[in-house]
Structure 1
Amino acid sequence: MLIFGRICIGKYQMWIIAKIVTFTLYVEKTTIAVYRVVFCCGGVRAKIQSPSQFLGYQLGTQFTYQYRIAEYFKYVAAEAKNVKLLQYGSTNEGRPLIAMFIASTENIGKLDEIRKNNLALAGLPDSHIATAPVAAALNPVIVWLSYNVHGNEPCSSEAAMQTLFDMVDPDNANAKNWLKNTVVVIDPCLNPDGHERYVNFYNSVKGASPDINPAAREHAEPRPGGRVNHYYFDLNRDWARQTQKETQARVGLYNSWLPQIHVDFHEQGYNAPYYFAPAAEPMHKDITAWQKQFQTTIGKNNAKYFDQNGWLYFTKEEFDLLYPSYGDTYPIYNGSIGMTYEQGGIGAGLAITTRTGDVLTLKDRIAHHHSNGLSTIETASANAAKAVQEFKKYFDNTRTKPDGDYKAYVIKSTNEDKLNTLADMLRRNGIQYSYGVKETASGYNYFTGKTEQFNINTGDMVISAYQPKSVLMHVLLEPNTFVADSVTYDITALVVTLRLWLAGL
C-alpha cells in the first residue's frame, strides 16, 4: 500500500511517499506502534521499472507488440536523466522508428557536441566545427546496437528493452562506470512493419501454452513472413543503396554519428548455436588489421560470459565480411567495428524442441542477446581511448593515403537521369564527388578492360579516392572484388548491379 502525506514526530515534520508495513518506533522513551515506511522523499524519482514490470508480464513469456516496445522506451525517456529518445523516421505503415541515446549525466547534455567532434575526427566537412576537434582520447566511444532488422527475428527487440533497463538502472554500478567514456545508442526495431506481421501471425495461431513440436502450426509462418518490410524488401540488403524509407532514415542518422562500434542483432535457424564475431572469410581486403583484431577482442569477452553460463556458440564459420550492404559490412566500410550477432530462433515461437532434444525458449534467446549487448558495451568502454584513436587513424588514412589501385573514378555523362540518381546515392552515403573540367586522362576502361587515354568533359562526374568515405567508395565502384574464399554467405549483388547499371550510363 502506498501513501502520500506528512509525518510528524515531535517538532519534526517530513513529507513522504511511503510503502507501509508495521514496525515499532521508539521516540523519547515512549514506545509507539506505527507503520514502517519506506521513504521516497519529494524530488527523488521512483525507481525505473524493468520491462517486465512495465509490460505486466515476464519478458519472454509472450511477444511484445511494437507499440508497447516504443511505449517502454518513451517511459524510460521520461524517467531517466541520462537518456535522450529520438524518433528519426517512420515506416510505410506509420510506425515510429526510434533510437535511444544513453550517456553519463555529464555527457547527455552535450550529445551534439560529441557527435560533431566525432565527425570532425573523421574529417567530414558537415561536422560544422570551425576550430580543431577535441583530442581523440577525450571523446567517448560510441556503441550503436541495432535490433530486429528482420521482423520474424523478434527476440532482439525484447532483448533491447532489457539492455536499455540495465543501462539506466541506478543500481547498476557497471553501467555507470561504462558510461563515463561511452555513449550507447539503442535502436530497438529497425523493421516495425515486419515485426508486427510476425507477432500478429504468431498470436493468431498459438494456444494457451507454447507447442514445442516443430511441426506445430505456430512454427510455420506463411509467406511473405515478417522478415521483410511493407514492400517485401530485405532491409539488411539495403544499407548502401537505401531504396527503402526505413533505410534512408536510419542510415541518415547513422552517418550523422559514425559510431566506432556497431552490432546488428539477428536470429538464424533455431537448431544453430549462437554466432558472434570474429567473422569468417572472405573479408574484403580493405578491412584493417585493427578492425579484425577488435572483433576478436569483443568476441573473447562475449565468449567469457557464454562459457560461464554453459551456452553454446561459434565464430568464423559462416558469416563473412564482403557484401557491402549488411548491418556489419556497411559500418565496417565506414570505419566502425561492424558485427553481426546471430541467435538461433527463426520459427521457434515461444518454445520449440531442437534436433538435439533440448527445448529452446524465447527467454533463452533474450538472455543470449542481452548478455552480448552488455558484453560489447563493457569491452568498448575498457578500450575506449584506443577505439577512438584507431577511428581517427582510419579516416586520416582514407583522406591522405587511400588504399586501392585507383585514385579517382570518372563517370561519363551519357545519361543525365542515371547520373543524377547515382549522385543521390553517393550523397546519401556521404561520398564526395565533383564534375570535371575539360582535360585528357589515362585510366582503366570498364568496357574494354584496358588502360587507355580518354577525355573528361565538364558534365562528367569525378569521384576522388582522397576523401573520408574512400573505402566505401572503392568497395562500391572497384571493377573487380578480390575474394580470398570461394564460398560466400551471400552474393555481391549490389556491386554487380551497380557496375552493370553504370555500364549503361
Structure 2
Amino acid sequence: PFFQGAHYSGDVTAPDALLGQPVGSRMARPDEIVRAFETWAKQSDRLQFETHGHTYEGRPLVHAIVTSPSNMARLPEIQAVNARLNDPRGLEEGEAQRLMDSIPAVAWMGYSIHGDETSGADASLALAYHLVASTDSAVEGLLEDLVIVIDPVMNPDGRARIIAMVEQNAGFRVNLDYASQARGSWPYGRGNHYLFDMNRDWLAGVAPETRARWNVLRQWTPQLFVDAHEMSGLDTFLMYPQNAPFHPSLPSRLAHWQGIFADAHGKAFDALGWGYYTREWADAWYPGYSDAWGSLNGAIGMLYEQGSNRGQPLMRESGEIVAYREAVHGQVLASWSNLLTFQANRAEIRRDAYNHRQAQLKVEEGARNAYVLVPERVGRRTSQLVQTLLAQGIEVHRLTRAASGSNCLSDMGEIEDSHEFPAGAYVIPAGQPQGALVRAALEFDPRIDDETLLDERARLERGEGSRLYDVTAWDLVRQFDVQGWTCRWEGEFGEAVTHAMLANQDAQRGVIGARTEAGPYAYALRGDDDRSLAFAARALEAGLSVHVADGAFVARMAGEAAVGFPRGSLLLRRHENPASSPIPGKMAGGGTLDFDAWVERVAQITGSTVIPLAGGRAGSPETADLGGGHFSLLARPRIALLTGSPIGQQDFGHAWQYLDEVLGVPVSLINARDLGRTDLRRYNVLVVPSGGVNGILRDQKEDLQAW
C-alpha cells in the first residue's frame, strides 16, 4: 500500500474501484482522473473540485481544493487574507502577524506538466484519496493546518497522446527494454496539442493551459509549490535542493528550506531503501520553470524527477526491474513527505513568504527602479506583453503625458543620462509586491556569478560537460519584439492599467474612418500590424485579390484626410474583388456577404484595423498611386509543413501553432519521411522546422529543385 496502516472511510470510493484496478497498475486516462475527483467532491466535505479552463483539444483543466470542513466553509476569507498578505503596503507588523496566524498555509501540488511523465498524475489519485478518506487524526490535523490545491493532470492532451501510443504499441509479452517504441514515439506526449513545452512557458504564457493556471494560482498564492516530473527510467529519483547558478530574484531563504525538505524527503526514501540524489543537474537560473515561477511569487519551489517507465515495468542497467506502481509510489511518498514538512514549518515559511513580498517594495537608492515599454505604431505587441504581465499579477502603469527617466538603459544596450518617453508608454515599477517576478521577466541581461562561470569553464575544459540544465538567456521584451528601457524613475508612474482598459483599446478595431455611400475605392491594412497578416490569409482563402506595397505610401480617406502606410501594407481594391463572398467560417452554401460587410466581418474576427480609402490617387506626390506596379498581387498560400521524425518537435509545434491559430492559414502536415513520395505541385510554400534541413532536404535535393 502507498500508506501503510492507513484506515479509510467507507463513504468515499477508493480509486482502485473507480479505475477498475489498482492505482499504478496502468496509466489512468485524463477523463478517469477527472471522474475520480468529481466523485470524491460529491462524497466528501473535504474536497471541492473546480474547472479552471480547457485545452486546445477541449479537455477540462481542473484542480481540487482539499482541506478540513471548517476551512472549506471559509475559503473566501482565506483567499482574501492571503491576498492582503501578498501586498504588504500599509500593513502594520502586528496586523500582518495576526493575519498570518488566522488562516491555514497553502500548498500547490502540480503533477505531470509534461504529459508523458505520467506517474505524477496517477500519484495525485492516491494522495487525494488519502487526504479525503483517511480517518487518521494526523490527516485531520494536517487538513486543519493546510489548504492543499491539487492540479492532478496539468497536460491532459499530452497525457492522452502518450497513453494512446503506449496502448497501441503494447504486445502480449512484457518488454522491459527502456528503448522500445512501446514507450512512445514522435511526438511523444511531453507537449500540449501544439507540442509546446509548458514548463518553459510560465513567463510568456502562450499556452491556454498556462494562462488558466495563472488565474488559479493568483487566487491562492501558495507558500509551497510542488512540481512533479519524470526523467530517464534508467535513473532513480532527483529532488531539490538545486545547484548553482541561482537567480538573484529568488527568495533569500529558498535554498535553506529546500535543504530541510530534502532531509525529510531523504529519510522517507531511506526507510524504504530507495535510491535518490540532489543537486547534480537541476540549477536555479531560468525563471520560466513551474517551481521557479512559484518561488518568485514567494513559495518554496520543490521539483521531483522520478525515473519514468510510462505505465510498464522496465529493467535498469543494474538489472533491477521497476514496476510502474513503484514510480507512482515514489511520487506519492515525496508529496506526502513535503506536506508533512510544510505543516511542521508552516508558520516560519509563511513569514518568509511575507518577508519576500515585503522586500520587493524596496529598491536600492539611486538604482534603476522601473521598466518602460514604448508602444510601436500599432501598439498590439506591447499590449500583448502588458496583458501577459497583468495576468501574472504584475502592476503596470501608463503615462498620461510625456515624462523622463534618468540613468536609462535600453534592451539593446544603449545608455542615456535622461530619456523622454511619450504619453501612452507603459511603466512597470520594480518596487512592487511582484518585484521579483518583474526583475526576472524583464531584466535585459542578467549575469551568472563569476564563481559559477569559473566552475563551468573548468568543467568544460575537463570534458565533463555543462552543469547548466537548460535556458541561460531570455528577454521577454525582445521576445515580444517591443522597445524596452530600464530607468531611474522619480516622478509619477501614471495611471494603473487594467485588463478592461486593454480590452477597450483592442475593441477599437475593425473598419475605422468615414465611408461614402458608394463605398470606398479600396481598403488598406498597415504592414506593421501583425493582425493584418491574419486578415490577408482569410481574404486570400476566400478568393479575394490582395496586394502588398513594396514601399511606404500615403493615401486619402473619405473627407480627404491623408494617412501614411509603411512598406508591406496590404491593399484590397473594390473593382478587383467580387461583389459578394461566402460568410467567413461557413461551409459552402452557408450564405454570402457583400464586399464591405465581408471586410468588416473578417476585420472583427481577426482583430484587424482596416482603413477605407477614397480613391486611387496618392495622398502625397512623393509616393505611388494605388493602381500601379508598386503593389504586387499576392498568391493564396498553399502551405506544407514537415512533421514527424527527425523534425524537432517543439519547432514544428511553434510553426504549426503560429500558422494555424495565430494566422488562421490552412496547413497540410506532411510526414518528413514521405516527402519524396509527395506531389508538391499542390503547394507553393514548404516549411521545414529544425531537424529536417541536413537530412530530409539533402536527400530530396533534386525533387525540391524541380519543384
**56-65 or 394-403: bigger deviation:** 394-403
Partner of 1:258: 221
Closer, same or farther: CA 227–215 of 1 in aligned 2, 3 Å: closer
- Contact 1:117-1:133 within 8 A present in 2 as well: no
- Contact 1:118–1:257 (CA under 8 A) maintained in structure 2: yes
Instruction: Please list, as runs of the form range in 1=range in 2, the aligned pairs for 1:431-446 lying within 5 A after superposition.
Output: 431-436=394-399, 437-446=401-410
- The AA in structure 2 aligned to 1:457 is P
Deviations 1:140-178 (A, max 9, x none): 110100001111111111100000011112323321121
Tell me the distance in 1 between the aligned counterparts of 2:24 and 2:217.
29
* Segment of structure 1 superposing worse, 165-174 or 228-237: 165-174
Structure 1 residue 413: Cα displacement: 2.9
Deviations 1:107-155 (A, max 9, x none): 0111121111111101189xxxxx9895212221101000011111111
Q: Pick one of 142, 145, 149 that aligns with 1:185.
A: 149
Take 2:182 and 2:62, find their aligned partners in 1: how far apart are those partners? 29
Report deviation, 1:499: 5.9
Match of 2:468 in 1: 488
Quick one: which of 198, 203, 206 aligns to 1:235?
Answer: 198
Match of 1:301 among 255, 258, 264: 264
What is the aligned length?
Answer: 456
- Indicate yes or no: 2:33 matched with 1:69: yes
How much has 1:457 moved relative to structure 2? 2.0
Larger Rg computed on CA atoms? 2
Contact kept, 8 Å, 1:285 with 1:482, in 2: the verdict is no
C-alpha separation in 2, matches of 1:259 and 1:141: 7
Counterpart code for 1:369: Q
1:117-132 correspondence to structure 2 within 5 Å: 117-123=81-87
**Cα separation, 2, equivalents of 1:261 and 1:402:** 28
Equivalences for residues 261-300 of structure 1 within 5 A: 261-300=224-263
SS at match of 2:475: helix
Q: Tell me which moved more, 277-286 or 495-504.
A: 495-504
2:52 corresponds to 1:88? yes
How far the C-alpha of 1:445 sits from its partner, in A, is 2.3
Amino acid at match of 2:326: D
1:89-128 mapped onto 2 (5 Å cutoff): 89-123=53-87
Match of 1:146 in 2: 110
Give the one of 136, 157, 160 matched to 2:124.
160
Match of 1:425 in 2: 388
Instruction: State whether residues 249 and 437 of structure 2, in contact with CA within 8 Å, keep that contact through their aligned partners in structure 1.
Output: no
SS at match of 1:289: coil
Higher relative contact order (CA 8 A, sep 6+): 1
Unaligned runs of 5+ in 2: 1-8, 90-94, 457-466, 486-707
Query: Amino acid of the residue matched to residue 434 of structure 2?
Result: K
User: What letter corresponds to residue 352 of structure 1 in structure 2?
Assistant: L
| Aligned-pair CA distance for 1:310 | 0.6
Structure 2 residue corresponding to 1:470, chosen from 410, 418, 435: 435
Within a 5 Å distance, the mapping from 1:296-445 to structure 2 comes to 296-345=259-308, 348-401=310-363, 405-415=367-377, 416-436=379-399, 437-445=401-409
> CA 1:361/1:312 → structure 2, altered by over 3 Å: closer, same or farther?
same
| Cα offsets for 1:403-450 (capped at 9, x unmatched) | 994211122234422221121111111111112232333123223442
What is the rounded CA distance, in whole Å, between the counterparts of 1:407 and 1:158 in structure 2?
A: 45
> Does residue 1:458 correspond to 2:420, yes or no?
no
CA 1:303 to 1:439, structure 2 compared with 1: closer, same or farther past 3 Å? same
Contact 1:104 1:179 (8 Å CA) reproduced:
yes
Instruction: Give yes or no for contact 2:223–2:299 (8 Å, CA) kept in 1.
Output: yes
Distance 1:463 1:308 in 2: 50
Can you list the C-alpha shifts for 1:312-335, whole angstroms capped at 9, x where unaligned? Answer: 111111111121211111111111
Provide the rounded CA distance (Å) in 2 between the counterparts of 1:121 and 1:283: 26
Deviation digits for residues 257-316 of structure 1 (CA, Å, limit 9, x no counterpart): 110010110000111120111111111012233222111111111111001111111111
Instruction: Answer whether contact 1:477 1:499 (CA < 8 A) is retained.
Output: no
Q: Give the gaps of 5 or more residues in structure 1.
A: 1-44, 126-130
User: 1:54, CA displacement in angstroms?
Assistant: 2.3
CA contact (8 A) 1:218 1:349 kept: no
Instruction: Tell me how far 1:479 sits from its aligned partner.
Output: 2.3
Distance 2:175 2:299 in 1: 41
In structure 2, how many angstroms separate the alpha carbons of the residues matched to 1:298 and 1:167?
Answer: 20
Task: Quote the offset at 1:74 in angstroms.
Answer: 0.8
Distance 2:433 2:367 in 1: 17
User: Are the aligned partners of 2:477 and 2:483 in contact in 1 as well (CA < 8 Å)?
Assistant: no
Deviation digits for residues 376-422 of structure 1 (CA, Å, limit 9, x no counterpart): 11011111111111111111121245799421112223442222112
Distance change (3 Å), C-alpha of 1:201 and 1:414: closer
Going from structure 1 to structure 2, the CA distance change for 1:403 and 1:395 (only over 3 Å counts) comes to farther
- After superposition, the C-alpha distances for 1:217-263 in whole angstroms (9 at most, x for unaligned) are 313x2211111111111111111111111111111111221100101
Mapped partners of 1:499, 1:216: distance in 2: 38
How high is the TM-score relative to the length of structure 2?
Answer: 0.62
8 Å Cα contact 1:141/1:183 also seen in 2: yes
Show the counterpart of 1:200. 164
Distance 2:221 2:366 in 1: 22
CA contact (8 A) 1:120 1:133 kept: no
Instruction: Show the counterpart of 1:174.
Output: 138
Tell me: CA distance 1:240–1:500, structure 2 relative to 1, closer, same or farther (3 Å): closer
Residue 353 (structure 1) shift: 0.7
Equivalent pair of 2:239/2:262 in contact (CA under 8 Å): yes
Alignment of 1:208-219 (within 5 A): 208=172, 210-219=174-183
Matched, 1:55 2:19: yes
User: Which range moved further: 256-265 or 400-409?
Assistant: 400-409
**Counterparts of 2:108 and 2:347, CA distance in 1:** 17
Give the Cα–Cα distance (whole angstroms) in 1 for the partners of residues 213 and 354 of structure 2: 23
**1:466 and 1:289, CA in 2 relative to 1: closer, same or farther beyond 3 A?**
closer
The alpha-carbon distance between structure 1 residues 318 and 421, as it changes in their structure 2 partners (threshold 3 A), is same
